[in-house]
Structure 1
C-alpha cells in the first residue's frame, strides 16, 4: 500500500483545517438566519461551489465508481440524474423558491396547505436528509477502512464525528466555508489527478477498449429500467430536497440562485462521466475486487504516488463531508424550525433557537452515525432516502407551486397515501425495486387532484401559488 506518513500528514492537516474553519464559522453565526442560511448573502462562485459540493458527495463518488466498475460508462447515470434534477430546479423553481419567506420546504408547505401537511412533510424530508448523511458516513468509513486498515465501524465514527463537530459549531456558515475548500480540492483530485492517471495506468483509452466488454462503452449498458429508476429517485428527488432548497435560499439574488443551480448541474454531468471512467479503469487495474464499493479507494492506493495519494483521498473525503454536513444541517433545521419551534417552543428567542439548533444537530448526527453502522451500504441507504422523498412530497410541492386549486386536505392525504404505498412496496419487493416509487408518485398526484377538486381551498393558506 502506498499510503505512508506523508499522506497521513496531509490528511491530518486537512482535517485540522476543517476544524479551524468550523470555529471561524461559529463566530459568524450570530442569528438563526446566519446559522441556517448563511445570511442569504452568497455570491455566484461561493453559491455554485457550495451547490456542487453538496450534490456530489459519497454516493456520487464512491457509488458511481462502483457502478462504473460493474457496468462501465453507463454508471454515470446516477450522477447525471442528480445534475438533471438540480438544473430543472434552477430553471423552473429557483425564482419561486427565492421569493418565499421561508427557511425550509416544510415551512412552505405548512403556509400553503396547513400545519398538518407541514408536520408530515418535515418528518419525511428530515428522514431523507438524515439518510443522505448516512451514505456519506458510510463512504468515509469505507475510505478510511481501505487506506488505514481500521475497523469499518471505527472509521465511520471518526469521519462522522468530525463532520458533526464543525456543523454544530457554525451551521451554514461553517458548511459554506468548508464546502468551498472541499469543492476546489475535489475538482483537482478527480479531474486533474485521478482521471488522467487512471486512464494512463490502464493503458489509455485503447487499453480500456482492449480489456473491457463492449457493453462497458454503451451509455445504456446499465439498462433502461435502472436509468428510469435513477430519474425517479434522483432527478425528481433533487427538486424537493431540503438541503438543495436551503442552499438556494443562501443566494444573494434570484439571478445568482438560477445561474448557480444550472452551473452546478452541468458540473455534475462531467463529474458523473469522470467518476464512471475511473471505475472502468479500476476494473482493469484492480480486477476481482471482493467488494466493488472499495473500487475508488483500492485504485487510489494502487496507482498514486505518496503525497498525491493524500491529496486525492482528501478530495474524496471532501466530497463526503460536504454532502454530509449539508444534509445533516438540513435535517436538523427541519426538526428545529418546523416541528419543535412550531409546536413546542413558539416563543423561542434567537439566542435560544441557536442553542436548540445545535442540540438538535447533535442528536441527528448521532442517529446518522448509528444508522451508518447498521446499514453499511452506500447505494442501499441512498435508494431508501430518495424513494421516500420523491414519492412522498414531490406532487404536493409541484402542484402547490403551480396549481392554485390544490388544497391542504389533498396534500395531507397525498403524502400519507404515497408514503404507505412506497414503504409497503419496498418491504414486499425489496428496497431496490422501482415499481413502488412509480406507484407512489402516481398515487400522490391522483390523490392531490381528486381530493383538491372535491374540497374547498382555504384562502388564508393559499400563498405563493
Structure 2
C-alpha cells in the first residue's frame, strides 16, 4: 500500500481519537455513558445501528461468500437485516414501555433476579466474543496493509477502539459510528461496487462469465440458510448490543423506523458485498484464501488514495462493531451484576468511574483473547447458538404471553442453556440442532411450569365443598 493510502488511514485513526476526547465531555452520567442520554434522532440512530450490525465479518464474509456461491452469499447479512426488521416491527413498541438499560434487566423485571443474572452472564460472554473477532479482523487488516507484526496490529486497532469507548461511552461510540456509517456507505456503494463491476466489463459481461450456480439464490444450501436464520435472525432479536442501540432512540417511533431502515440497508449491503465477490471471481479466479477476497480485489483495482478510503471503510465496520459490543459487555457486567449484587447504594458519579474501569478491563480481556486465540469463529458460533437457543423464547413469551410466571422464565433459560451446550458438545459446533433443542426445551419448560403454577394458584383460591363460614 502506498504512502498516500497509509496517510489516509492514519488520519482516520486520528479523527476517531479526537472524537473520543470530545465525547468524554458529554458523558457526565451513567445513562449518558451507556445510552447517550436516550436522545438520538432518526439519522444518528439509523447510522449507529447500521454500523454496529455490519461489522468486518459482514463486509469480508459476504465478499467471500459471493466469491464462492454467487448471489446466494446474500443470506448471511440478509438474515441479520431480517432480525433487525423483526425487532423493529414486533418488539420495540413493547420494549419502550420499560425504561431499562439491558435485556437481562428487563428479563429480571418480568421473571426473577436469577433470570437477570444468568442472562447477563450469557449475553456478556457473547458480546465480548464478538468484540474479540473484530479485534482479530482489525489486526489482520493492519498487518496486511502496513506490514506490522500481527500482535502489535491487534493492540493498535483494539487500543484505539478501547480509548474512545472508555472516554465517551455511547456518546463517543455514536459519533464514531456516524463517521463509520458514512465511510462504509461511500466505500462500498459509491466506490468498491461500481469499480468492481466496471473492472468486470459491466453487469452483462459479469453474468455471462459466471457459472450458473453463482446466479442461484439457493446454491449455498437450504441447511446453511436455515442456520443463518437461527443464529442471526433470532440472535439479533435478543442481542444486548442491538438493544442498547434501541434504548438510545429519542422515541419509540424513531426506534421503529430506524430499525426498519437499518434492516433494509443491511439487505442492500449484503447484495453489494455478494456482487463484489462475484466480480472478484471473474477478475481474480485463482485467489488462494477466499477470506482475502475483498482486500485482494481492492488492492488490484483501486488507485492510490481511493484504496486507503475503501480499506478505511472495512476498518470502520470492524471498529464500530467492536466498540458497540465492548460497551454492551461492560454495561451488562456493571448494570446487572456489579450494581445488582455488590454496589446497590453507590452514587452515580462513582458508578460512572466503575463503568469506565469495567470497560477498560473488558477491552484488555478482548485484546488478550484476540492475541491468544487468533481465530474465534467457533466461539462466536457457540455464543450465538446459546443466545438464540436459550434467550429467544423467554423474551418472546415475555411480551406475547401474559401467563408466563417468574419461576418458569428462569428455569426455561437455565434448562435451554444446558441443553444447547450439551447438544453442541455431542453433535458438534457446526450443527444447528442444538439451537432447535434449546428453543423447544425453553418453550416446553416455560409453558409447562407457567400452566402448572397458574392451575395450582386457581385451585388454592377455590373453597372446598362443604367448607362454609358461620357469621
Identify the TM-score tier after normalising by the shorter chain.
over 0.9
Quick check: 1:372 aligned with 2:375?
no
Q: Which residue of 2 aligns with 1:463?
A: none
The partner residue of 1:237 within 213, 235, 238 is: 235
CA offset at residue 415 of structure 1?
1.3
Relative distance call for 1:284 and 1:449 in structure 2 (3 A) is: same
Give the aligned partner of residue 112 of structure 1. Answer: 110
Equivalent residues in 2 for 1:163-312, closer than 5 Å: 163-312=161-310
Q: CA RMSD in A?
A: 1.7
User: 2 CA distance for matches of 1:191 and 1:272?
Assistant: 11
Deviations 1:34-77 (A, max 9, x none): 00110011111111111111111111111111211221111111
Distance 1:458 1:101 in 2: 32
Match of 2:86 in 1: 88
Partner of 1:426: 424
Assess if the C-alpha contact under 8 Å between 1:43 and 1:251 holds in 2. yes
Residues 392 and 419 in structure 1, CA contact (< 8 A), matched pair in contact too = yes
Q: 1:430 to 1:223 in 2, by over 3 A?
A: same
Q: Greater shift after overlay, 326-335 or 413-422?
A: 413-422
Moved more, 266-275 or 202-211: 202-211
Following the alignment from structure 2 to structure 1, what is the Cα–Cα distance between the partners of residues 52 and 201? Answer: 33
Whether contact under 8 Å (1:242, 1:330) holds in the other structure is yes
Conserved in 2, the CA contact under 8 Å of 1:63 and 1:378? no
Q: Is the Cα contact below 8 Å between 2:423 and 2:434 reproduced in 1? A: yes
Whole-angstrom CA distance in 1 between matches of 2:209 and 2:133 = 31
Q: Is 1:440 matched up with 2:450?
A: no
Of 3, 16, 19 in structure 2, the residue corresponding to residue 18 of structure 1 is 16
Report the equivalent of 2:464: none
The Cα shift of 1:458 comes to 13
Equivalent-residue separation in structure 2 for 1:425 and 1:154 (angstroms): 37
Gaps of 5+ in 2: 458-471
Q: Deviations over 1:381-409 (max 9, x none)?
A: 44223111111111111111121211222
Change (3 A) 1:129 1:224: same
Q: CA deviation at 1:27?
A: 0.5
Look up the match of 2:361.
Answer: 363
Cα deviation code 1:243-279 (max 9, x no counterpart): 1111111111111111110010110110011011111
Conserved? CA contact 2:129–2:376, under 8 Å: no
Q: How many angstroms does 1:457 deviate by?
A: 10
The 8 Å contact of residues 29 and 35 in structure 1, kept in 2 or not, is answered as yes
State how far apart, in whole Å, the 2-side matches of 1:44 and 1:205 are.
34
Q: Which residue of 1 aligns with 2:28?
A: 30
- Counterpart of 1:72? 70
Q: 3-state SS of the aligned residue for 1:72?
A: helix
Contact 1:81 1:230 in 2 (8 A): yes
Measured after TM superposition, the shift of residue 199 of structure 1 is 1.4
Asked if structure 1 preserves the Cα contact closer than 8 Å seen for 2:124 and 2:328, the reply is yes
Matches within 5 A, 1:54-73: 54-73=52-71
Q: 1:229 & 1:368 partners in 2: Cα distance?
A: 26
Do 1:146 and 1:298's aligned partners in 2 also have CA atoms closer than 8 Å?
A: no
- Maintained 8 Å contact 2:47/2:178: yes
Question: What is the rounded CA distance, in whole Å, between the counterparts of 1:43 and 1:392 in structure 2?
Answer: 33
**2:169 counterpart SS class:** helix
Q: Single out whichever of 127-136 and 365-374 deviates more from structure 2.
A: 365-374
Cα gap change, 1:458 to 1:378, in 2 (>3 Å): farther
The TM-score with structure 2 as length reference comes to 0.94
Secondary structure at 2:286 match in 1:
coil
**What is aligned with 1:462?**
none
CA contact (8 A) 1:64 1:76 kept: yes
- 1:4-37 residue CA offsets vs partner (Å, 9 max, x unmatched): 1101110000000000001111100000110011
- Give the whole-Å Cα distance in 2 for the aligned partners of 1:112 and 1:34: 25
Please report how far the alpha carbon of residue 84 of structure 1 lies from its aligned counterpart in structure 2 after TM superposition. Answer: 0.5
Once the two structures are superposed, residues 411-435 of structure 1 have per-residue CA deviations (whole angstroms, 9 ceiling, x without a partner) of: 2221122112222222233222211
- TM-score, length of structure 1 as denominator length: 0.95
Aligned residue for 1:47? 45
Select the residue among 143, 155, 158 that pairs with 2:156.
158
Question: 2:6·2:146 contact (CA, 8 Å) conserved in 1?
Answer: no
Kindly report which structure 2 residues correspond to 1:92-103, keeping only aligned pairs within 5 A, or say none.
Answer: 92-103=90-101
* Structure whose CA Rg is larger: 2
